[in-house]
Structure 1
Amino acid sequence: MDTYMALVDVTDETVQNIQDLATIWGDLTGDIEALGGELLDAYAIIGEHDYLIVFEAEGRDGAFKTSVSIERYGLDTQTMEIIPVEELGGLVDDI
């Protein structure tokens, strides 16, 4: 499985408070698992974006499906693949 992060912004007026958001997180976790992935971490962000979600998915297609699933809840995502810094040395060795 590959690891991805999504910068998430609340765009739907139906998400008015923390209780609404808590309900979404439970559903969101279930959706990610149903797609064969796993929610690894989630953080609230003070700044340009509202949340950071870190998840595992089965390749690019799984990450795309996960992002679309997240957006169904009135959340806008910018999703990127991430790799641990420890693995960078292995990439250099391959060049």
Structure 2
Amino acid sequence: MRAERAAFLKIVRAVYAYPDDVARDVARWRSSLDSAHIPAHHRPLLANAVRELDRAEACAEANTAFTRAAIDNFVHNPYAPEHLRVPKEEV
């Protein structure tokens, strides 16, 4: 059971780190679309890419809300199965 608990804790920590990881990725993608690096004749093609990045951010927010709601059932919850119970300070 100890290995299962350790594996589950990794999942919980990944879920809690997800918003920061996604924000970093989207910021990196946005900077790669910086018009200073793109020839003027290609810039009109970026409009769709920018919309897709906005959509990616919205999807990340929805994913965060969903996964956090699921995981929070196990964090600091005395009713969660003991081998999956995660103390808040371990997250």
Q: TM-score range by the shorter chain?
A: under 0.3
Q: Tell me the TM-score normalized by structure 1.
A: 0.26
Q: Higher strand fraction: Structure 1 or Structure 2?
A: 1
- Larger gyration radius, structure 1 or structure 2: 2
Higher helix share: 2
